[in-house]
Structure 1
């Protein structure tokens, strides 16, 4: 089973450094914005400088807002859920792809999700969160389900199918969800599959 985590904390950090760094960034931004600003009012302005806001991207040319929102979150539940999703579903891909290809795929999917949000959402739309990038990882798994089943064992294939369907349903059920980022992050992951998974082989450790 691919998605059972049996590593200790130190083993996880050593085996999956990119995921560890991403989660550390999530946590640092969350603590800085939601904890430290309580004691130092005014510092929260940096959060609004980094979040995705269509007006400032389209009109003011602040294109960094296509990248920085991937690492920001709206609250504790938001950052916890996205970080937990990375812990569960990221390690397999980091091992399969290697550090460089994994972070490249993650960022490309997250950025394309934010570009879709820019073009499809209203000009006054604002968003934060890693969901677009995480749905991009789901998209890579969908590509495996369709075209590279040799990369996943049968239990993992069943689990990822259920998770993707559940995630898509919740996308349209929950409020305050960036539907554009979820859908186009997923599409970006599937589209990247033929390129990013080219010549990738199953992880021997898991068999």
Structure 2
């Protein structure tokens, strides 16, 4: 996550804030008070990032100080009693030498645009592949050759684990998956980069389909990108957990991302009818494993050339798998 903050002038609260978004009023470990500071307290910093503000406060609490967080129009103001101000400044400086904050420049949409575009591209690929498979050439046996047929996968047709991700039973099926894929692919892209996110999505989906084939009877057949989508959910939870564990001030809440991911799996990944619950589960589990690996291998999103390489290789893999399927 990119974090921004600014110093507070002790005489007023009109300090510049680098986050343009309004402060989200959600639950907190700390007691948020009114914007006015008592005369005996010194305002130190202001931010619109709640996690960052609570990190500061937790650092000071662990040093035996008594910080307070107050909400104002400028953001969340960190204050301490006047007699603690020197120790607080020194403590925060020492903490930030070990955990340097990443300052985000105020450029409208400059960081969010690539992630949003990645989600749009993934959703678009699903829609295009659906309309090609159901309406472009009825002579091509798309579903016969590309579905995740458990028996055929186990007999060696491994390309089906990939091609099945691009096939959907009907318009409602592909629309729901395209929306979900766009959302989760965007979120994952924001954490690891667009190309790496695309590669991880396909890898989690294909891996989930392979494990699902071992679990089911040979006659089991499935299609759809939901295995990859729940892989993304698992990756987001795992990445969030590992990254919080690495930040000393956030370790207390390290379980929150994985709990949220499990809740999404329970709410969206189960159901009756034709829902392949085990494909969702295996995609989620594979995604969790890949998320942990990605968190350790790439603590920060890799360079653009790596993103392009991963994205291009993944697209080439999709095309190659369909060539194998239709030959």
Same fold (TM over 0.5): yes
Distance 1:138 1:132, change over 3 A: same
Distance 1:15 1:120, change over 3 A: closer
Structure 1: unaligned runs, 5 residues or longer:
203-207
| Aligned match for 1:80, one of 168, 175, 193 | 175
Quick check: 2:235–2:288 contact (8 Å CA) kept in 1? yes
Q: Taking structure 2 as the reference length, what is the TM-score of the superposition?
A: 0.49
Alpha-carbon distance, 1:167 to partner: 3.6
C-alpha separation in 2, matches of 1:166 and 1:139: 9
Query: Is the partner of 1:174 in helix, strand or coil?
Result: coil
C-alpha separation in 1, matches of 2:258 and 2:170: 26
1:107 aligned residue: 202
Counterparts of residues 146-161 of structure 1 (less than 5 Å): 146-149=241-244
2:153 aligned residue: 57
| Aligned match for 1:139, one of 214, 234, 239 | 234
Query: Is the partner of 1:124 in helix, strand or coil?
Result: coil
1:190 aligned residue: 288
From the CA coordinates, give the structure whose radius of gyration is larger: 2
Query: Is the partner of 1:92 in helix, strand or coil?
Result: helix
1:30 aligned residue: 130
C-alpha separation in 1, matches of 2:268 and 2:233: 14
C-alpha separation in 1, matches of 2:167 and 2:273: 18
2:139 aligned residue: 42
Q: Quick check: 1:177 aligned with 2:275?
A: yes
Alpha-carbon distance, 1:159 to partner: 9.2
Larger strand share, 1 or 2: 2
Larger helix share, 1 or 2: 1
C-alpha separation in 2, matches of 1:94 and 1:170: 21
RMSD: 3.1
Distance 1:201 1:191, change over 3 A: same
Alpha-carbon distance, 1:146 to partner: 3.4
Quick check: 1:116–1:180 contact (8 Å CA) kept in 2? no
Query: Is the partner of 1:67 in helix, strand or coil?
Result: helix
C-alpha separation in 1, matches of 2:268 and 2:184: 18
1:127 aligned residue: 222
| Aligned match for 1:200, one of 285, 296, 299 | 299
Q: Taking structure 1 as the reference length, what is the TM-score of the superposition?
A: 0.74
Alpha-carbon distance, 1:126 to partner: 0.6
Structure with more contact order per residue of length (Cα contacts < 8 Å, sep ≥ 6): 1
1:94-114 deviation line (CA, Å, top 9, x unaligned):
132123321221121111101
